[in-house]
């Protein structure tokens, strides 16, 4: 319960700071490109603020312990044997960002994604931060690499389902209308924190830890019930 309260507090604080940034600071600065991407801006800024709050305030000791414990990870030791300690440290610290921005680059090169440069950066950073729990799962594993890859499959599916259901269920024309960006921002931030606490800090959690993200997800998609009922 303590982890749940801490995680929710960090996510809510990040969302409030995100709202101040998106609704007040960005219009004051007159940055038109960012204002045209409110949904991505809310997601990105929420996750950035959440990361700062988690690392500097609420989970600073746990994150330090996690970082120190990576030296004993089977995967980290295997990589270190091949590339050495310095390159391994760089790889571990930048792996999520390499994955996040590689996904964005692939989407751009294949023509799937066409947007402003600022949106590319925000989207790459958003994906990078959301990938953190999956990287933590792999890096914190003491099993062989192939066993870890097999085990991460259900984790990826469950994690992705929580993140994508809300986005897919909201009509495109409403995705940037109040309160959808903030509901999904809280959903994504809460889900990320729940998976980080579970896999990075190795805390045994029950289903309650996913309650905040599921509640936000329910709130976001429940208006669609009216449309479904109208079609009956």
Q: pLDDT per residue over 149-161, tens digit each?
A: 777 888 888 888 8
Element (H, E) at 17: helix 2-20
Contact assessment for residue 66 and residue 143, using Cβ atoms and an 8 Å cutoff: no
Give the start-to-end residue ranges of the domains of the chain. 2-73+131-230
Q: List CB contacts of 31: < 8 A, sequence separation 6 or more.
A: 118
Query: What is the tens place of the pLDDT at every residue in 86-132?
Result: 888 888 889 999 999 999 999 999 998 888 888 899 999 999 999 99
At residue 214, the pLDDT reads 75
CA pair distance 217, 46, nearest whole angstrom: 16
At residue 100, the pLDDT reads 94
Instruction: Give the tokens for residue 71.
Output: 């030296």
Q: Is the dihedral of CA 140, 66, 131, 76 positive or negative?
A: negative
Residue pLDDT tens, the chain, 232 long: 677 788 889 999 999 999 999 888 877 766 555 545 788 899 999 999 999 999 888 888 888 887 777 777 778 887 888 878 788 888 888 999 999 999 999 999 999 888 888 889 999 999 999 999 888 888 877 776 677 777 788 888 888 887 887 677 677 677 777 888 898 889 889 889 888 888 777 666 666 667 777 777 777 777 766 666 666 5
The Cα-based distances of 194 to 11, 73, 160 in angstroms read: 10, 21, 13
Give pTM, 2 decimals.
0.86
At residue 145, the pLDDT reads 67
Q: Where are the beta strands (DSSP E) in the chain?
A: none
At residue 208, the pLDDT reads 67
């Amino acid at each position: 319960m303590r982890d749940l309260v801490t995680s929710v507090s960090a996510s809510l604080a990040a969302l409030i700071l995100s709202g101040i940034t998106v609704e007040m600071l960005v219009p004051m600065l007159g940055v038109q490109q960012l204002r045209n991407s409110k949904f991505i801006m809310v997601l990105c800024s929420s996750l950035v603020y959440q990361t700062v709050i988690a690392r500097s305030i609420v989970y600073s000791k746990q994150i330090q312990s996690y970082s120190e414990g990576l030296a004993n990870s089977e995967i980290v030791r295997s990589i270190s044997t091949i590339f050495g300690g310095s390159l391994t440290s760089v790889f571990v610290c930048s792996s999520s960002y390499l994955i996040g921005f590689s996904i964005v680059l692939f989407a751009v090169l294949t023509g799937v994604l066409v947007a402003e440069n600022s949106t590319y950066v925000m989207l790459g950073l958003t994906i990078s931060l959301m990938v953190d729990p999956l990287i933590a799962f792999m890096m914190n594993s003491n099993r062989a690499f192939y066993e870890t890859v097999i085990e991460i499959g259900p984790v990826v599916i469950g994690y992705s389902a929580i993140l994508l259901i809300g986005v897919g269920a909201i009509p495109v024309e409403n995705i940037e209308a109040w309160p959808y960006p903030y509901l999904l921002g809280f959903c994504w931030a809460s889900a990320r924190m729940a998976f980080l606490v579970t896999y990075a800090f190795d805390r045994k959690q029950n289903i309650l830890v996913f309650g905040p993200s599921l509640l936000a997800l329910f709130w976001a998609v429940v208006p669609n019930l009216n449309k479904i009922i109208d079609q009956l």
